[in-house]
Structure formats: structure tokens, C-alpha cells
Amino acid sequence: MPELPEVETTLRGIRPHLDGRRIARLIVREPRLRRPIPPEMPERVAGQPIRSLRRRGKYLLIELEQGSLLVHLGMSGSLRLAAPESVPRTHDHLDLVLSDGGLLRFHDPRRFGIFLWIPQSPDTALVEHPLLCKLGPEPLGDDFDGAHLYRASRARRVAVKSFIMDSAVVVGVGNIYASESLFLAGLHPARACNQIDQADYDRLAETIRLVLGASIEQGGTTLRDFVNESGAPGYFAQSLRVYGRAGEPCRICGTLIQQQRIGQRSSFHCPRCQP
């Protein structure tokens, strides 16, 4: 599933090719995504200039002269730059054709993604749109730190891994990055979040920043479906310390990595490094 680093990698890849361009037309081959694409959407976006692109959590916002495009990659989606003459593959559901001949193609085998026009500007959508208005702080932003995690956890009793994966607490800390961050912070993923002190949360906030930053620099994590805007895979999976390594020795102490279910998700930890 594309997570925050994959979405940020995609944003950085497509921004130079879209920013300041004009949309010639939108080609919709399959409107049945997680939220169906309305039949009038191609007409709404055709001819509009692209003013800016930004990310909020796992969402991409493409600001147009009137309204915005709201994009989520879902479970298996990707946005790729393609040549105008390239033949669409199976599951290439949309093409955003630019007036200068460029082409942005939305590929989504499972059709859990979102690609919609909304009437709001990005600034307004962030405070009004139901998919965006309740999101927590960005983990790489100035308003995210250990004090925020400590305050938000006092009235909660869930496992700390589930806590940091809650998008109302902090956005974009998906399953892979939660496991990796907790390992570096030396915290057991099943530990109750309200039993962790601020010093530990200070350390956890810093490891979340480090893990996400490292993944962005390496182009994201390739496990099953994700590729970046040019179709190339990310490489962060090669440096995973615990995720997906059940039964393998810990890279720090040699103890075998254990796997358990937390919040219906597979979790990985070292019993010695994360007591």
C-alpha cells in the first residue's frame, strides 16, 4: 500500500511536469474507483491551468484555477508520467493530458484509489473537506513532536503501534514505518500508549522523522505494487530492520524477530531490543 513516503516521492516526481501547465483533457476509461468519477468531471477540468501541487498525509491536492483535484493512491495505485503515444495497459484508468503534450496516467489494479475534482481550493479543502479536515499533524512538520504524542495519548489505552497509525494523531505513519520507528525507539508495539512517558515519545517522534525521511530519500518502499512516477521501484525495503523479517535474526542483537497481530495488522519486533 503506498504510504506517505511513496506519495511524497510521487509528488516530487510529477510536480516539475505539471506545475504551471494546462490540462487539455481528462480521459476516463474506468470510473468505478473507491469514489466513482462523475460523468461531468472531464468537462470541469478541461482547459484549466495547474497552479500548484501539494501533499496532505497520503492525499495529493492539485490546485486548479477553479477547484482542485483530490487524489489518493488507495491500496495499489500509482501516478506515472507516460508518452502521449503509449498504449494504456490494463488498469490504466485515467489519463490527465496536458496542453504541452505531457501525460499523467493513473494506474490502480484494485480500484481503491480516489481521483476527484472538488470545488474547494486546497487551503479551503484542508479545513472543510471531510477526507482532510480531521487529519493530524504532518510527521515531518514543525507541529509534530514527542509532546504532541504524549498529550494525545493520555486518554487512550490502545497499543502504541495502533496509536501512531491513527491519522487523527499523526498522518502517514503506516504499518511498515510504525514497526520500523518503534524498533529504533526501543518500544514494544503492543505497549499501551498511555503508559509511555514523554521522554520515550520524544525519542519515538524523532525516529518517525528519521524513518520517513530515509524512505523518501530512497524512493519509498517496494513490497508488492508501488512504483514511482517513472515506473521505477523504491529501495527502502532493502534496509528494513524488522518489518517482514519474522524468524530472522535482529540486525542489532541477533535475537529472532517475532510477529504478532495488533489492530488486525501484522506487527514485527525484536523481543530483546523492544522489551
Q: Is the pLDDT of residue 227 over 60?
A: no
On whether both 8 and 124 belong to a single domain, the answer is yes
Give the confidence band of 229 by pLDDT, cuts at 50, 70, 90: very low
Q: What is the pLDDT of residue 232?
A: 47
Question: Angle 136-78-189 (CA atoms, 0-180°, nearest 5)?
Answer: 45
Give the confidence band of 8 by pLDDT, cuts at 50, 70, 90: very high
For the question of residue 265 being annotated catalytic, the response is yes
The three-state secondary structure class of 262 is: strand
Return the CATH number at 258: 1.10.8.50
Other C-beta atoms closer than 10 Å to the C-beta of 244 total 15
Write down the number of H helices and E strands in the chain: 7, 10
Spacing of C-alpha 256 from chain mean position:
29
Give the confidence band of 233 by pLDDT, cuts at 50, 70, 90: very low
Q: Is the pLDDT of residue 170 over 80?
A: yes
Q: What is the pLDDT of residue 217?
A: 85
Point out the catalytic residue in the list 2, 122, 139, 189.
2
On whether both 156 and 47 belong to a single domain, the answer is no
Count up the domains in the chain and report the number: 2
Domain span at 25: 4-128
On whether both 116 and 180 belong to a single domain, the answer is no
On whether both 117 and 187 belong to a single domain, the answer is no
Q: Is the pLDDT of residue 236 over 90?
A: no
On whether both 55 and 168 belong to a single domain, the answer is no
On whether both 154 and 252 belong to a single domain, the answer is yes
Other C-beta atoms closer than 10 Å to the C-beta of 28 total 16
On whether the pTM is more than 0.95, the answer is no
69 in a domain, yes or no?
yes
139 in a domain, yes or no?
no
140 in a domain, yes or no?
no
Which one is predicted more confidently, 219 or 60? 60
Q: Which of 71, 100, 128 is the last residue of a domain?
A: 128
Point out the catalytic residue in the list 56, 58, 80, 105.
58
81 in a domain, yes or no?
yes
Least Cα distance to 131 among 45, 34, 263 occurs for: 34
108 in a domain, yes or no?
yes
Average pLDDT on 243-261 reads 97
Q: Is the pLDDT of residue 154 over 70?
A: yes
Torsion of CA 57, 59, 60, 66, to 10 degrees: -120
Q: Which tens digits make up the pLDDT trace of 13-43? A: 999 999 999 999 999 999 999 999 999 999 9
Distance CA 32, CA 192 (A): 40
138 in a domain, yes or no?
no
Q: Which of 69, 100, 128 is the last residue of a domain?
A: 128
Q: Is the pLDDT of residue 121 over 80?
A: yes
Q: 2 to each of 141, 219, 224, how far by Cα in Å?
A: 20, 11, 10
- How much is the mean pLDDT over the chain? 92
Return the CATH number at 91: 3.20.190.10
On whether both 195 and 245 belong to a single domain, the answer is yes
Q: Which of 6-15, 105-114, 213-222 shows the lowest per-residue confidence on average (mean pLDDT)? A: 213-222
Q: Which of 146-160, 165-179, 207-221 shows the lowest per-residue confidence on average (mean pLDDT)? A: 207-221
Q: Is the pLDDT of residue 234 over 70?
A: no
Distance CA 19, CA 60 (A): 13
For the question of residue 58 being annotated catalytic, the response is yes
Point out the catalytic residue in the list 22, 54, 111, 265.
265
Q: Is the pLDDT of residue 228 over 60?
A: no
Q: Is the pLDDT of residue 222 over 80?
A: no
Q: Is the pLDDT of residue 231 over 70?
A: no
Spacing of C-alpha 225 from chain mean position:
13
Q: What is the pLDDT of residue 220?
A: 54
